[in-house]
Structures are given as structure tokens and as C-alpha cells.
């Protein structure tokens, strides 16, 4: 996206609310941005166009950037190059999940300046909270990625009628056919697949991330069955995007145990039967328990000490423990390993030899498991584009089913989008005010057209003038995200 003028820039900052803002050291910023938290000044050469083009082409593995629609957008390309370099500097790892550029044109969306965004309280109230906002009323998504997508829709209402009508038709179908609630129940608990895939791409995913991905992939057949008879083009498209080969789900089922530990370094993540070499190394450790029980019984009999026990800790390894009062009765081949307040710990040549064998097997097993885990991540990265597209489809289905729930619960109707300029509202309500007032909300009508382009709204203080104007704007925004 390329902008001209401070007002347009401030409007985009209000829309995007970025956590960090990258800016050249020699660029003058508007006063409203110069002291902004998260502002990161970068060297001017980070914004050089030629360097940016080379870096982006290398990242996306293309010869030219023309296919991304950024021809004649040198400022945007330079900014994208700076952003890519910044991410590489901070992440210090490969970024296979960054596969292209997405170009936004201002004329494709309803333009709202910064002041309008704040006062309409789309996502944040004037006090900075999510409560008592349009997003707060609409967000009944059951996945984090659905909530994020709804935010993007609200902050960038579209003008393309074909997209908006496709969303409306999908909501109609979900209301009248499968039952949106069944879709929501299937999506519930599916987790944040988008964030999981990002961690996989950065090779920082933890075992339980893979369990979440496995559970999500396991729900895809049910979701496809629910959408199998869908007629709206958008739902047909989503149905297709959820059609992943079963190999990835099968791989995760075979590779990872049902309930893995938090970290791979704890071991016990890779399932038995997945790798013969790992199973063999683990068998040595498993058989060790039987050997230790046998050794304990033999040493009790040999020493005559009934309370003798064999144990292990990470600091001192394996040991034979007896009470201090009986320490003088141990056989001559016992070597003292540790003295405690009420006990003595010893080791024998036989136990020392066994310790070396078992600990070596455990270390090898853990190293093998780490190698297998890294290989598993690489195999997931190989199909990352398919998984990312599937996650995006899940998010969109979540938003559509959430908007279906809101349409029924709040008794909303589908707006009719026409070519002629005008605005005709019957029984309009301010959804946010209506939710947070104890008195019944009085619905309002509005008619604007070629002959009636303006209304003068009068009335006493606190009479509802501002509410009426904001209500009208919110209804228009709802229409331009494809909602009822």
C-alpha cells in the first residue's frame, strides 16, 4: 500500500495499530508518530530499492516482482525490503512461510480517517478497551484466527459488491441449511493454526503445537462433510481449500505421542514404532528397570541389609543406598559415592559398567529423538503453503459462522447493495448501544438519495444525535464487510 499525505498515513496507522513501526533515520514523521512507542529507526540503506528487490526476489524465489502487482510502487517495495531485513535480523532463522507480497489499493475499500475510526469505536473504545465496541458485539468466533480476520474485515470494509454478496450468500446458507452452530461446534477448540504454522516455519514449534495441529487436521473431514452440499460459491471454495491430503495428519498421528511433554529436550515425544533405531535405544532404558530390581534383590541377599535400595539421580547417577548405621556392613567392593545425613550411597563395578551403558543409550535416544523431531518439522515445512491456505479457510469459515450467529441472535437482515447512490434504512439500530443499555432501543429510519443528499439532525443535549449518526455509519460498515 502506498499513501500520500500525513492524514492518509495517520488513518492507516489507526487502522493497523502496528506494534512496531520501521522508519528511515533521515525521514521526517508527523508529530503524532515521532514519539510513538515501538518506533524503530533504521539505516537509510535498508530502504534502498535495488537491495529490496534483490532481497524480496531471493525470499520468494522469483526473477521479478511484477507478478505480485507492485509495478510502479517503489516506496512500497522499498518498505517491504526493509521489513524483510528487519525480520531476518530479529528472527535469525529461515522464513519459509513468507512466500509473497499482498498489494492493497485504497480505492478498493471504504476510506476512514483516523478520527472517524476512533469515534466509531470499531475495535477499541475511546478508553482503549474491546468492550462496548462493534468488534466486541460481533466477535463470537471460536478460534483466535477467526477473531483476527474479523478485525481485518472491520478495519478495511470493502467496496467490491461481488465479494460482499458472496459473504451474504454464505451467511444465508449457513442460517438456512447446515446450521451454523454445528460448524461452530466443529471449529471450537481447533486452536490457533496460523500461529502454530508460523512457529513451525521458524522451527520453534513445541511438541504440543504439533498436537494442536494434529487435532485441527483431524476435524477437516467433518467440516468438509458439513459443506459438501453448499451452493454459494464462497463456501464451495472453502470446501475445496479444506481438502488436504491425509498424509500430514497420518504423519503426525504416527510420529507424536498422544500427550507429549512440553519440550523436546524432555524426551518421550516421538511415538513408539515410528523409528526402529529409537525403539531399540529406548528398550535398553526400559530393560534397565528390570535389571535394577534384580540387582537390588541380589545385593540385599549378599550384604544381608534388608533396607538396601538401588536408585538414580541426575547429579550422581546410579547408586546403592544403605542407612548410615549399616554402612559398615557393606561388602568390600562397594565404593562410596555420596554421604547424606542419614544414609550412605555406594557404587559397585557391576553397577558402574551398567550405568555407562544405560546413560549412553539414553543420551543417544534423546539425540535421535531430537533429530527425528527436526526432520518432522522439515516435512511439515515442505507442505506449509497448503497448510497456510487451509488455516486461512478455517478462519474465514469461523467468521462467516460467527456472523450467522449474530444475524440470528440480534435479528439482523441482509442489506441490499445497489448501483445507485443512496442509503435507505428501516428500523435501524445501534448494535453497541442496544447491548449496553437497560432501556429498549428506539429504532430509526433514514433515507438519503439523489434528491435528498443531506439531513440536519437537531435535538437537545443527550438526545441521541451522535448515536443516530454513528449508528448510520456502523450499519454502512456492516454492509461493507458482508455482514447482516
Q: What is the dihedral of CA 213, 208, 206, 218, to 10 degrees?
A: -10
Give whole-number Cα distances, 382 to 147, 175, 245, in Å.
28, 38, 13
pLDDT confidence tier of residue 409, bands split at 50, 70 and 90: very high
Distance in angstroms (rounded) separating the CA atoms of residues 215 and 219: 7
CA angle in degrees (0–180, nearest 5) for 123-462-409: 45
Residue 282: strand, helix, or coil:
helix
What pLDDT digit, counting tens, does each position of 151-184 carry?
Answer: 999 999 999 999 999 999 999 999 998 789 999 9
Q: Name the pLDDT band for 391 (thresholds 50, 70, 90).
A: very high
d(CA 228, CA 237): 11
Hey, what CATH topology would domain 276-367 get? MutS, DNA mismatch repair protein; Chain A, domain 3 (1.10.1420)
Beta carbons within 10 angstroms of residue 214's beta carbon: 18
* Domain 134-268+373-409 in CATH 1.10.10.10: no
Answer yes or no: same fold for 134-268+373-409 and 276-367. Answer: yes
Distance CA 470, CA 430 (A): 8
Q: What is the pLDDT of residues 351-380, one digit of tens each?
A: 998 888 888 888 899 999 999 999 999 999
Q: Left (φ > 0), alpha (ψ -120 to 50) or beta: where does 268 sit?
A: left
Q: Give the model's confidence band at 471: pLDDT under 50 very low, under 70 low, under 90 confident, else very high.
A: very high
Give the residue, 313 or 220, on which the prediction is more confident.
220
3-state secondary structure of 120: helix
Top CATH class of 6-104 equals alpha beta
pLDDT digits (tens, 9 = 90+) for 319-329: 999 999 999 99
**Mean pLDDT along residues 458-467:** 88
Summarize the confidence of residues 176-205 as an average pLDDT.
Answer: 93
Give Dmax (Cα) for the chain: 111
Question: In the prediction, which pLDDT does 401 show?
Answer: 98
Confidence of residue 107 (pLDDT cuts 50, 70, 90): confident
43 membership: H or E segment, kind and range? none
Helices (H), 177-269: 180-187, 193-201, 207-227, 233-241, 247-255
**What is the band of 284 on the pLDDT scale with cuts at 50, 70, 90?**
confident
- Residue in 191, 144, 189, 202 with CA at minimum distance from that of residue 380: 202
Secondary element (H or E) of residue 78: helix 74-91
Q: Could you read off the pLDDT of 244-257 as tens digits, one per residue? A: 999 999 999 999 99
pLDDT tens, 425-455? 999 999 999 998 888 899 999 999 999 999 9
Give the pLDDT band (50/70/90) at residue 9: confident
Domain limits of the chain? 6-104, 134-268+373-409, 276-367
Contacts 24+ apart (CB under 8 A), 20-23: 22/46, 22/79, 22/82, 22/83, 22/86
Label residue 459 by pLDDT band (50, 70, 90).
confident
pLDDT of residue 197: 96
**What pLDDT does residue 469 have?**
94
pLDDT for residue 140: 97
What CA–CA distance (Å, rounded) separates 321 from 308?
6
Please report, rounded to a whole number, the percentage of residues in the chain having pLDDT higher than 70. Answer: 100
Predicted pLDDT of residue 242: 97
Taking the complete model, does pTM exceed 0.85, yes or no? no
- What residues contact 157, with CB distance under 8 A and at least 6 apart? 109, 110, 476, 477, 480, 481
Amino acid at each position: 500500500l502506498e499513501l500520500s499525505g500525513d492524514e492518509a498515513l495517520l488513518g492507516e496507522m489507526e487502522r493497523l495499530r502496528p506494534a512496531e513501526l520501521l522508519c528511515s533515520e533521515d525521514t521526517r514523521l508527523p508529530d503524532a508518530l515521532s514519539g510513538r512507542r515501538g518506533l524503530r529507526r533504521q539505516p537509510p540503506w535498508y530502504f534502498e530499492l535495488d537491495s529490496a528487490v534483490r532481497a524480496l526476489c531471493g525470499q520468494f524465489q522469483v526473477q521479478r516482482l511484477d507478478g505480485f502487482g507492485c509495478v510502479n510502487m517503489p516506496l512500497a517495495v522499498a518498505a517491504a525490503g526493509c521489513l524483510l531485513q528487519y525480520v531476518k535480523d530479529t528472527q535469525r532463522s529461515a522464513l519459509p512461510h513468507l512466500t509473497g507480497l499482498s498489494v492493497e489499493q485504497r480505492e478498493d475499500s471504504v476510506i476512514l480517517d483516523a478520527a472517524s475510526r476512533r469515534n466509531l469505536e470499531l475495535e477499541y473504545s475511546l478508553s482503549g478497551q474491546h468492550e462496548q465496541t462493534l468488534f466486541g458485539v460481533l466477535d463470537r468466533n471460536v478460534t483466535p484466527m477467526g477473531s483476527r480476520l474479523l478485525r481485518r474485515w472491520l478495519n478495511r470494509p470493502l467496496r467490491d459488491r461481488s465479494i460482499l454478496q458472496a459473504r451474504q450468500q454464505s451467511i444465508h446458507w449457513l442460517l438456512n441449511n447446515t446450521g451454523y452452530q454445528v460448524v461452530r461446534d466443529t471449529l471450537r477448540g481447533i486452536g490457533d493454526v496460523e500461529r502454530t504454522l508460523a512457529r513451525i516455519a521458524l522451527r520453534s514449534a513445541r511438541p504440543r503445537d504439533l498436537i494442536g495441529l494434529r487435532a485441527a487436521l483431524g476435524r477437516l473431514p467433518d467440516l468438509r462433510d458439513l459443506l459438501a452440499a453448499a451452493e454459494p460459491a464462497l463456501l464451495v471454495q472453502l470446501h475445496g481449500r479444506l481438502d488436504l491430503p491425509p498424509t500430514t495428519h497420518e504423519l503426525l498421528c504416527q510420529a507424536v505421542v498422544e500427550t507429549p511433554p512440553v519440550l523436546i529436550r524432555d524426551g518421550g515425544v516421538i511415538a513408539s514404532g515410528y523409528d526402529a533405531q529409537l525403539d531399540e535405544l529406548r528398550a535398553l532404558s526400559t530393560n534397565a528397570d528390570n535389571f535394577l530390581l534384580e540387582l537390588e534383590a541380589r545385593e540385599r541377599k549378599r550384604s544381608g541389609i534388608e533396607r538396601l535400595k538401588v536408585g538414580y539421580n541426575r547429579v550422581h547417577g546410579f547408586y546403592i543406598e544403605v542407612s548410615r548405621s549399616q554402612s559398615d556392613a557393606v561388602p568390600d567392593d562397594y565404593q562410596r559415592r555420596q554421604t547424606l545425613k542419614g544414609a550412605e550411597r555406594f557404587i559397585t563395578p557391576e553397577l558402574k559398567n551398567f550405568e555407562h551403558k544405560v546413560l549412553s543409550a539414553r543420551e543417544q535416544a534423546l539425540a535421535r529423538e531430537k533429530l527425528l523431531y527436526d526432520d518432522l518439522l522439515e516435512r511439515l515445512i515442505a507442505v506449509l503453503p497448503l497448510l497456510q491456505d487451509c488455516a486461512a479457510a478455517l478462519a474465514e469459515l469461523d467468521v462467516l459462522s460467527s456472523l450467522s450467529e449474530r444475524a440470528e441472535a440480534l435479528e439482523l437482515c441482509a442489506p441490499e447493495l445497489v448501483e445507485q447512490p443512496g442509503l435507505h434504512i428501516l428500523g435501524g439500530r445501534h448494535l453497541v448501544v442496544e447491548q449496553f443499555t437497560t432501556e429498549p432501543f428506539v429504532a430509526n429510519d433514514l433515507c438519503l438519495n439523489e434528491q435528498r443528499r443531506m439531513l440536519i439532525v437537531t435535538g437537545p443535549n443527550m438526545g441521541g444525535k451522535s448515536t443516530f449518526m454513528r449508528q448510520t455509519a456502523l450499519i454502512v460498515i456492516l454492509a461493507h464487510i458482508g455482514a447482516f
